[in-house]
Structure 1
Amino acid sequence: MFIAIGIVFLLIYAALVFYIGWSGWSFLKPAISKRFKLLYILLISFLAISFILGRFFSTQIILQIIGAYWLALFSLLLLLLPVAHLIIWLFSLTRLPRQGIKKTIGILLLTALIGIIGFGSFSAYSPVVRPYAIMINKPAQVEQPLNIVVASDMHFGILSGKNHAQRMVNMINELKPDLVLFPGDIIDDQLAPVIDQDIPAILANIESTYGVYASLGNHDKTREGLAELISVIESSNINVLYDEVTLIEDQFYIIGRKDHSDKARIELSELTEGLDHTKPIIAMDHQPKDLGIAADHGIDLILSGHTHRGQIAPAHLITQRLFENDWGYLRKNDMHSIVSSGYGFWGPPIRIGSRSEIVQIHVTFE
């Protein structure tokens, strides 16, 4: 079954790559000799498999960079090329010279690609602070409002590297948090680039009154194994809650759940059994699923990421259909759900229709 699905996926991908390659050659061939056609085919073929090669040969940084930007080009061209072809066809109904029209459209297409990638890179590497203010109808003897700072989906690795990590630490410290929470996807599948760039030492500089806590996401998995991953993260003074509960200052609970994809994940009913439900309960669950179950089990605030708000529009239309709350704030009964679009990115360092963000939540207790 999975093999058949994989073959269908590869055939569809190959057809889309052919469409992009054929379209590109149709714009280039008046200016480039046909003897370069084979070279062009080899280039497109290499780009089409570059992302897979980059993941397979994880030490080849240049392959990973090329593969990441190919994903961006692939996504954008699938949106822009049909529009370009439609415009060319409409102009072909006039008496204007077809070759001149195609050349003009090709230049405009290239300009649009450069502009969009530039804007998308800015949106990915220039995070904003997204503020929220909520009230939890339970008492807590802490200074109010409790200033919680949340960052998810950092995907630290080659492209989301030490500079991006240092930027995050600076932004978090400027917000003077009482509590810092990381609900998953701290790394991007590979631990080596994180260690090589000494990112754990950078994260260790986060300042927070009640500490820094994290849960793990679907990309927090490495060849080195889970124990090594948690050890590296916790060397940053970050407390990893892996289907675990901790009580802060005897005033409120923090629950960190395993990712929804983990078959060994404990049921929420078991995690919340025996807790004092008169105290506020804050949960980190990487994927914003089963919000109704969380509300039924007394969770007061649940924090998630995972969706990236689609990262590259119009993918946000898909995440909106997949998740009850794919980004921002949702109240479900007495429970508050906040989903971040993420601080980092997956694949290309591009965001269109979304923005890298850090979430700041001021919580008052009653």
Structure 2
Amino acid sequence: MLAMATFVGFAVLVTALIHLYLWKRLVRDTTRPGRWRRAGGVAALLLALLVPATMVGTRNGSYWLAWPGYLWLALMFYLLVLLLVLEVPVAVAKLVLRRRERAATGAAGEPAPVPAGGTGRADTATTGNVAEPAATGPTATSPVALAEPPAAPVEVGSAEPPVAGDSGPRAAGGRPDHDPSRRLLLARGAAIFAGLTAAGVTGYGVRTAMGPPRLDRVRIPLARLPRSMDGLRIATVSDIHLGPLRGRAHTERIVAMINRLDADLVAVVGDLVDGSVAELGAAAEPLRDLRSRYGSFFVTGNHEYYSGVEEWVREVDRLGLRVLQNERQEIRARGGVLDLAGVNDVTAAGTGLAAPADYAAALGDRDPSRPVVLLAHQPVAAHEAAKFGVDLQLSGHTHGGQMVPFNLLVKLQQPVVSGLGEVDGTKVYVTNGAGFWGPPVRVGAPPQVTLVELRAP
């Protein structure tokens, strides 16, 4: 409970700081004090409150919050990324403008050149604010001088004519202030660019996430695979994520896609749901129609432990999928034998709801001449699996990063983010998953169903 409270508190703090930054760049820097700035502040506050409201509300059945809340979460993410990237060029542009203004100030403050042979004295003499021609020839008291018409008087206190090169109001010391209109224009340009780009990327991501999964085919050689089993095919899917934005039609589309592959095995590697059996049982029902030669298998993901794992294990079993909970199944096909093992998700250890991942129970005491394929939701499980000589691990969990550049952060936790990799001698294939979590957005990581074809040496 303490760990959950700490996480929630940290998430709220981060959300508040992000929205404060967005308010500064999108509202304060782009508006003058007044009604529009106040309206922008209110909007930023409401959007900040929408994020935790969505996270909590959708878990409690308030599905109407899902679309506005999760879409804003995606827009917020891309606005943050773009504005942070723009900080450097905007800072450079401000520096250039400042130097130009200083250069203009220096040019305006230089004294006028003195003509050759001159005395360095002004051509005109002034008394107060009244300008008179300087005396030449006869003395100033001569009648000729008195006959000269005086210059037109200038009203005392009148403004002096602007000095050439002075482009704005003068600050203390005679230096002009930085032009606020230029800074405002620069801030608005950056905000408009970030806003339009974030909206475009998010729109593309929604179209990708809500579209049909892409079918990928991958051939993976296994050193111990019997030649008689060469070409054994495993239809692999993960992270279906039935929930507020994905229902029965999503499951039906995935099942139809897998059935067209005519696979030997079907592997569903976790994160099937984001809700209880009562809420999503009907949406998962089409899984009973999965077809394969040697069976369909399931292992738990971390989201099952947030959604009533024991109920879902029973429900998935009722739908005809064999749930591998720290155990393995012999697959006898084409005159050969392969061990198919499965472990509970690593999240189970901290929940107390089910047995933690037990690699020894699933992989120990077996015939070492047989190849073994392990189903484990998270790629990080490969570090333990490799100790038992696992030939291939099939995983999901990462969503391929789901929203670039978030994939860069996923790499900090998982050894493989997407596709085929290797961990301590064990091959690991990570599928992007067929659904999404949170924002209905996928950028750089399309939804995926994979047909894994095992090849003998």
TM-score by length of 1: 0.87
Q: Does 1:326 align with 2:410?
A: no
Q: Which residue of 1 aligns with 2:302?
A: 218
Deviations 1:85-122 (A, max 9, x none): 55555444448844444444333322212210112123
Cα-to-partner distance string for 1:254-302 (whole Å, 9 max, x where unaligned):
1111111222325312322332232221111111124243233132211
Counterpart residue number, 1:121: 206
Residue in structure 2 matched with residue 342 of structure 1 by the alignment: 433
Q: CA–CA distance in 2 between the matches of 1:74 and 1:110?
A: 10
**Can you list the C-alpha shifts for 1:43-73, whole angstroms capped at 9, x where unaligned?**
22432323333245x2111123333223212
CA contact (8 A) 1:188 1:219 kept: yes
Q: Is the 8 A contact 2:378 2:398 kept in 1?
A: yes
Q: Does 201-210 or 9-18 show the bigger shift?
A: 9-18
1:358 to 416, 440, 449: 449
Aligned to 1:25: 27
* Secondary structure at 1:322 match in 2: coil
Whether the 8 Å CA contact 2:75–2:199 is kept in 1: the answer is no
Show the counterpart of 2:401. Answer: 310
Q: Is the contact between residue 194 and residue 200 of structure 1 (CA under 8 Å) also seen in structure 2?
A: yes
Q: What does the per-residue CA deviation read over 1:143-162, in whole Å, with 9 as the maximum and x for residues that have no partner?
A: 53011110111111122333
Cα distance in 2 for partners of 1:157, 1:133 equals 32
Q: How does 1:193-272 map onto structure 2 within 5 Å?
A: 193-195=279-281, 198-222=282-306, 225-249=308-332, 251-263=337-349, 264-272=355-363
Deviations along 1:198-231, whole A, 9 cap, x unmatched? 32232222221112101001101255x3332112
Moved more, 18-27 or 90-99: 90-99
Matched, 1:174 2:260: yes
Deviation at residue 5 of structure 1 after TM alignment: 6.5
- State the Cα distance separating 1:306 from its structure 2 match: 1.2
Q: Specify the SS of the correspondent of 1:262.
A: helix
CA distance in 1, matches of 2:381, 2:45: 46
Q: Which has the higher contact order (CA 8 A, sep 6+)?
A: 1
In structure 2, what is the Cα distance between the partners aligned to 1:348 and 1:133? 32
Question: Aligned match of 1:106 in 164, 178, 191?
Answer: 191
Q: Is the 8 A contact 2:54 2:69 kept in 1?
A: yes
Structure 1 distance, partners of 2:84, 2:383, is 41
Rounded to whole Å, the distance in 2 between the matches of 1:105 and 1:38 is: 19
Summarize the Cα distance change of 1:269–1:45 in structure 2 as closer, same or farther, 3 Å threshold.
closer
Partner of 1:147: 233
Range that drifts further, 355-364 or 140-149: 140-149
Say whether the 8 Å CA contact 2:239–2:434 is kept in structure 1. yes
Q: CA deviation at 1:330?
A: 2.1
Asked if the contact 1:258–1:285 (Cα under 8 Å) also holds between the matched residues in 2, the reply is yes
1:280 aligned onto 2:371: yes
Aligned to 2:441, the other structure's residue is in SS state: coil
Relative distance call for 1:84 and 1:362 in structure 2 (3 A) is same
Gapped regions of structure 2 (runs ≥ 5): 101-180, 350-354
The amino acid of 1:13's aligned partner reads T
**Structure 1 vs Structure 2 CA RMSD:** 2.9
> What is the alpha-carbon distance in structure 2 between the residues aligned to residue 192 and residue 66 of structure 1?
25
Query: Which is greater in Rg?
Result: 2
- How far has the Cα of 1:314 moved from its partner? 1.9
Distance in 2 separating the partners of 1:280 and 1:99: 66
Counterparts of 2:230 and 2:45, CA distance in 1:
62
Give the 3 Å change call, closer, same or farther, for CA 332–46 of structure 1 in structure 2: closer
Distance 2:284 2:57 in 1: 23
Aligned residue pairs, count: 362
Name the residue aligned to 1:36. 39
Q: TM-score, structure 2 length as denominator? A: 0.71
User: CA contact under 8 A between 2:248 and 2:285: conserved in structure 1?
Assistant: no
Q: Distance in 1 between matches of 2:411 and 2:45?
A: 38
Q: Distance in 2 between matches of 1:100 and 1:333?
A: 55
Kept in 2: contact 1:158–1:193 (CA 8 A): no
| C-alpha contact 1:132 1:361 (8 A) present in aligned 2 | yes
Retained in 2: the 8 A contact 1:156–1:194?
yes
Structure 1: where are the runs of 5+ without partners?
none
Partner of 2:390: 299
**Which has the higher mean CA deviation after the structures are superposed, 303-312 or 29-38?**
29-38
* 1:62 equivalent among 61, 64, 79: 64
Q: For 2:220, give the aligned amino acid.
A: I
CA contact (8 A) 2:327 2:361 kept: no
Q: Distance in 2 between matches of 1:25 and 1:71?
A: 18
Alignment partner of 1:51 out of 54, 78, 94: 54
CA distance in 2, matches of 1:33, 1:336: 57
